[in-house]
Amino acid sequence: MLLDRNQREMIMTHRDPTSPRADHAGKILVIGGGFAGFWAAVAARRVAGNRAEICLISPKPVLEMRPRLYEPKPETLSVPLLPLLAEVDVTFISGKATDLDASAKTVTLSDGQRHTYDRLVVATGSQMPRPPIPGVETAYSIDDQADAIAFDQRLEKIAQQVAEPTIAIVGAGFTGIELALELRDRLKAHNPDGVAERARIVLIDRAEVVGQHLGSAPRPVIEDAISAHNVELRLGAVVQSLAEDRVVFRDGSSITADAVVLTSGMRAAPFAAQVSGERDHLGRTIVDAALKVPDVPDIFVAGDAGAADTGDGHWTLQSCQHAGQSGRVAGENAARDLLGLPMVAYTQLRYVTCLDLGRSGALITQGWDRRVDKTGSEGKAVKRLINTQVIYPPATGTADALLLSSNIDLAARARKIDESKADIPASAV
């Protein structure tokens, strides 16, 4: 049995609306239905048992598989949240949070609904900033599932109607690389008659090197894959303006394209600005070791909305790897703080980079210096496992499995999963 008797009774008692609530400590409100928000809510339930009401606010009751949106069939890349939240008795509130009154402990939604809290977890994620250049609104993106679906629909039309298409990708970072190296197979899936191999794919960046923020160690592997995929690099190029069919550069040159896709990084979503406190250059709220906002009572920030020391002097990255773990810790600490228990420090077990290289496999690196660990088909097997299993909630979807997967000790969680022989992969997020 994965849960001991006391834990199981606490959960089941909370799910019974007729049970006594004399020991009810208050309400934990989680804003955001991404990796951080979802796991914060589940972890809070694991710690609080029947002693707290837990609610999650998000515009839609789905967990978008955002790290996979460079892949084909983006309409399939989400997980319904309502059945999972019901298993652990977390109330879902549909809406977009727009205003925070920390003194009144109230969150207001765009439709005017107001929700109070005793502890708040802000996990509102990030969004791709569009640079202030003319025509930027005409470019496609894969920033969220709706955007990725719209781009895929355009890609299908291109594959069926254009004999020798050109696709320009502005931004040669992590997302831009993965998308560029996946495009030929995506075009082929829409039309197997050779258009994929005839396509011109251009990857553009103002930096002088591809994958600038990925460091120098993995770059030769990335460059080899780009060459093998016949992807054209336009580096050191400053974009002056965009249009539906064109990229114009500051030097006066231009590229005519059948689709322009923007992959210009991420910044904290706007709601993070509602939280008082210091911010970093990405608009993230800087939090302490417990992921609590200094000098602001009862508020925790996790995932892409927050910046925290990972426990080894490095700052969190805006990635599902850090969002999942920081969400778990924020949810656990929100419940601990509410119940008067000592809080725990956020740490990340390890840092791993997993970059899809399309037909060239994948690149797996270890550590903050990104030492190359696996490449080719071996790397692809790891990347596929992560993308199709590890980042997902447990396949069984039961309360036992969810609560087990919300354990903040990644090593212990992996051991317990192995001991239980449950169909739950050890989480790398």
Residues 307-334 have a mean pLDDT of 96
265-295, pLDDT tens digit by residue?
999 999 999 999 999 999 999 999 999 999 8
Integer Cα distance of 38 and 210 in angstroms: 33
Q: Which residues have C-beta within 8 Å of that of residue 406, sequence separation ≥ 6?
A: 39, 42, 43, 45, 46, 328, 331, 332
Integer Cα distance of 32 and 40 in angstroms: 10
Give the chain's radius of gyration (CA, Å): 22
In the predicted structure, residue 414 carries a pLDDT above the cut 70: no
Integer Cα distance of 178 and 355 in angstroms: 7
Per-residue pLDDT, 18: 31
202-258, pLDDT tens digit by residue?
999 999 999 999 999 999 999 999 999 999 999 999 999 999 999 999 999 999 999
Higher-confidence position of 31 and 423: 31
Matching fold, domains 5-127+267-348+394-420 and 136-262: yes
Alpha helices in 61-142 (DSSP H): 82-87
Is this prediction's pTM over 0.85? yes
Q: What one-letter code names the amino acid at 314?
A: H
Confidence of residue 23 (pLDDT cuts 50, 70, 90): low
Per-residue pLDDT, 415: 60
Chain centroid to Cα 309, Å, comes to 18
25 neighbors 385 (Cβ within 8 angstroms): no
β-pair partners for 79: 63
Domain extents in the chain: 5-127+267-348+394-420, 136-262
Instruction: Give percent of the chain with pLDDT exceeding 90.
Output: 87
At the top level of CATH, the class of 5-127+267-348+394-420 is alpha beta
Per-residue pLDDT, 410: 72
At the top level of CATH, the class of 136-262 is alpha beta
Chain centroid to Cα 65, Å, comes to 7
293-304, pLDDT tens digit by residue?
998 989 999 999
Integer Cα distance of 199 and 181 in angstroms: 12
